[in-house]
Each structure stands twice: as C-alpha cells, then as structure tokens.
Amino acid sequence: MYVVMVYDLRADRTHKALKIGRRYLTHVQNSVLEGEISEGDLTRLRGELEDLLEPGESTIVYELSSEALLNRTVYGDDPTDGQRFL
C-alpha cells in the first residue's frame, strides 16, 4: 500500500517524528513523508507515532491501496527521484 504521512509537533520535537517516519517512508518535504509500506510496517509506524504524540500534536496518515491510484505532480526537484524501483 502507498501512504502519505504528515505531522504537526512542537518545533523542538519534529525531529522525533521524522526519525520514526524515515524508518518506513521517504522524506519529501518539511513534515511530509510518503512511500510504499507493508501492512505490518504500517501497524508498527502507527504504534510508534501514537506513543510519541503529546497533547496538541497530531499526525495524519493517508492510505492508498496502490501508488497507481495517486495522481502525484511535483513542481521543481522531486526528492524521491532515484528512490523508486520499477
């Protein structure tokens, strides 16, 4: 499955969400990661994020059954170039 993860944490804690997200996904912009992920890894990612969050912080994970269902347009340099395998 393909997911897009966005997070909103206190400025001094954003690195923690980024560290967790990078274990599973590709960092594409500030507070945004995306990529293919297995159901098992998605379950682990969700658990780690839930454990991390403090009151007033949030993370959103958008799930698509396939990257083929995503219309993704990048203007400028694509941070995922060279990281996708066909």
Instruction: List the CATH number of the domain containing 23.
Output: 3.30.70.240
Q: Which residues contact 35 (CB under 8 A, 6 or more apart)?
A: 2, 3, 24, 25, 26, 80
Total domain count for the chain? 1
Residue 81 lies in a domain: no
Tell me the average pLDDT of the chain. Answer: 89
Q: What is the pLDDT of residue 86?
A: 39
Measured CA to CA, the distance from residue 77 to residue 65 in angstroms comes to 26
pLDDT digits (tens, 9 = 90+) for 4-35: 999 999 999 999 999 999 999 999 999 999 99
Q: What is the pTM of this model?
A: 0.82
Residue 57 lies in a domain: yes
For 54, the domain range is 2-66
Measured CA to CA, the distance from residue 40 to residue 45 in angstroms comes to 9
Residue 31 lies in a domain: yes
Measured CA to CA, the distance from residue 1 to residue 40 in angstroms comes to 11
